[in-house]
Amino acid sequence: MGSGDRDLSRGPTQFELDSRPGCRQIAHQGEVFGIRDCKICPARACCTGTTRRTLTLHPKEQMQALFAARKREETDEFKDTYRHRAGIEGTHSQAVRTMGLRRSRYIGLRKTHLGHVAVATAINVIQLMSWLRGEAPEQTRTSAFKQVMKQAA
């Protein structure tokens, strides 16, 4: 992170700061910038949002991997793949809420796997029956409070 005689550190926006006066080293986590350092940074609003101005910079390789992952999230290919996640999470939520999938009823890997297959089959049957009745799947789960308020109105 340092360069040459002066020990400079760069924030996420590549703004250089002298890392000795207001920074402290944290093992395996890079540097934490304090309030004095962030006051002079022109990109302070991009990095911090609270009154206590601290920012932890991770090693260069981790930061580059994080930036690459964030850039990949903006591609159409990623968005096309990611759009299925809501439906998958909804199905998983249904299994946990209605069929007790959070805890296994059985001891042993084979019996637990059989239980999961049975739950998946039951969910498929429930969804098939809803589809055959012409019921549209809910876009999002409605909370109990919202249901009560809807009935009261």
Q: What is the pLDDT of residues 2-22, one digit of tens each?
A: 444 445 556 555 556 554 444
Query: Per-residue pLDDT for 139 more than 70?
Result: no
The fraction of the chain above a pLDDT of 90, given in percent, is: 24
Mean pLDDT lowest among 37-51, 54-68, 73-87: 37-51
Query: Per-residue pLDDT for 114 more than 90?
Result: yes
For 113, 125, 127, the CA distances from 104, given in Å and listed in that order, are: 9, 21, 22
- Domain spans, the chain: 8-59, 85-135
Query: Per-residue pLDDT for 146 more than 50?
Result: yes
Cα torsion 31, 35, 40, 43: sign: positive
